[in-house]
Structure 1
Amino acid sequence: LEFDPNTYMSNLTSVLAFYAYLIIGFDYDSFSLNGGQPYFEIAERIVNNAQNAPVTGWKPYDGSRNRNRYWLVKNVLNSEYANVRRFVYEYHIRGLDLLESRITEARTGMVETLRLLQEVYRRRPDPFMYYLTVVMEAKSSEMISIFTDAFPEEKSRVVQILAEIDPANKSKYEKIQQGN
């Protein structure tokens, strides 16, 4: 398989490279604020190079509800959604990294970081915003597990925020209230 980030050579190599750079970008964003920027820019270049490809998923109008590679990388790099990237970073630094030794502080930090997603959602209340959907799909089960044992007032805040920003999974988040 041949790949060049500056040229579209085949759909297979472009798809593999796009998701590889996206995954690396998400990982780097969790260690430093906007640390994944160079990787997201390469993913965007891959999308731009594939605009004339005879396959779907690369163009803004491919698929439904803006759920394709084009919109995912555009959302990640869009400054309107900067707080989603900030959430990814702070959720890890102020939450997951502290969970083992300071669970109460970690949960408090996680609730505060969820407000970043809430701000984005309130500014652009689109339940189909692909980037937010991807983040919620990646983190929802983890959050349910973490907050099931939280204090009642924390549970209420978390469920309220999660149900607002991810209304399609409201019943899933309400399980937090039933724990312990």
Structure 2
Amino acid sequence: MKKTISLFFLFFIYSLCFSQELLATVQVNSQQLGGSNQQAYKALEKSLKDFINNTSWTGKKLQNFEKIKCGFAIVISERVDNKFKGTIVVQAVRPVYNTTYESPLINLQDQRFAFEYIENENLIFNERQFSGKNLTDVISFYIYLILGYDADSFQSMGGSQWFAKAQQIAQNSQNRNFEGWNTVNEPRNRTMLINEILNPNWSQLRSTIYTYHRAGLDNLFNQDQSPAKKVIFDALMQLKTYENSFQQAYFFNLFMDNKSDEIFNIFNSGNNGPVNINDLKQTMIILSPKNIDNKWNKWK
């Protein structure tokens, strides 16, 4: 009997140490609705957190330090019975080798988030078909997007299998009377984003994401930063291939939005070794013109 209890205890401890792939926070904000039932939103918050963190998305068992840190912040602006509308902000970060620094992988706001939810219902996801309620579909789409971004940053094109799953969710969700999936009259929609990521025309950007993180950032905190800065510089300069096509590209502009602060800070030290900062400055002015005054023109 004691042996059985010991084995059960060891299994329990193992399960705690080796859980699923994400370390996610979830926030549901309903302040715009005034004095509505807060318990329902707390229940939704808990259900989503359990759903995200306890589902096996890749089949891998990871220790806590290996899991991807991410966050889902939902602001509910409308409610009619069990139908909700609002926005969702999705964020994820990537650790940088041999440092405590965490690099932003993705940070986006989706303003077309509508779903149906009954308090305390089980959240079930089936990648082969649309759920009918859009809640787990949107959340799962962004989870696979996060997994894809993370894998791409560690291995060239390593996220393709997870991006493919996100694309399947987008295809399942077409023409289901929920906003955010349709490629017509909905700029910066989910389907557009995932289709661009998997489009071979944007493979150079995915290659840049890998080189930037794995060969660049992961070596940036060595005593001599010059080689890592040169790698990051070369990777960013490869993006000039998109100078005539990036304007309406969700994938490209999301990368620039997420990375502009980091890119600026990397090369703002005044000690850039072999990097031609003027060439980089001119490239960034072209590819991220909204940051000309607050970032690129400040480089010396």
Q: Which of 207, 230, 237 is the matching residue for 1:115?
A: 237
Q: Bigger CA drift: 76-85 or 167-176?
A: 167-176
Q: Give the Cα–Cα distance (whole angstroms) in 2 for the partners of residues 176 and 98 of structure 1.
A: 25
Structure-2 residue corresponding to 1:170 = 292
Q: Structure 2: which 5+ residue stretches go unaligned?
A: 1-122
Aligned length: 174
Structure-2 residue corresponding to 1:48 = 171
1:167 is displaced (CA, Å) by: 1.7
1:75-131 Cα shifts (integer Å, max 9, x gaps): 000000100100100001221011011311111111100122211x13x42322100
Q: Bigger CA drift: 99-108 or 40-49?
A: 99-108
Amino acid at match of 1:110: I
Q: Which of 187, 201, 212 is the matching residue for 1:91?
A: 212
Structure-2 residue corresponding to 1:160 = 282
Amino acid at match of 1:89: Y
The structure whose Rg is larger is 2
How does the TM-score come out when normalised to structure 1? Answer: 0.90
1:52 is displaced (CA, Å) by: 2.0
- Is contact 1:159-1:176 (8 Å) kept? no
Structure-2 residue corresponding to 1:19 = 142
Amino acid at match of 2:130: Y
Q: Percent identity?
A: 31
Q: Give the Cα–Cα distance (whole angstroms) in 2 for the partners of residues 84 and 132 of structure 1.
A: 7
Does 1:70 pair with 2:191?
Answer: yes
**TM-aligned CA distance change 1:105 to 1:147, over 3 Å:** same
1:175 is displaced (CA, Å) by: 4.8
1:62 is displaced (CA, Å) by: 4.1
Structure of greater relative contact order (alpha carbons < 8 Å, 6+ residues apart): 1
- Is contact 2:163-2:198 (8 Å) kept? yes
Greater helix proportion: 1
Q: Give the Cα–Cα distance (whole angstroms) in 1 for the partners of residues 294 and 170 of structure 2.
A: 34
- Is contact 2:229-2:272 (8 Å) kept? no
Structure-2 residue corresponding to 1:82 = 203
Q: Bigger CA drift: 28-37 or 135-144?
A: 135-144
- Is contact 1:5-1:46 (8 Å) kept? yes
How does the TM-score come out when normalised to structure 2? Answer: 0.55
Greater strand proportion: 2
1:43 is displaced (CA, Å) by: 0.2
Structure-2 residue corresponding to 1:36 = 159
Compute the RMSD of aligned alpha carbons.
1.6
Q: Which of 168, 182, 191 is the matching residue for 1:59?
A: 182
- Is contact 2:130-2:172 (8 Å) kept? yes
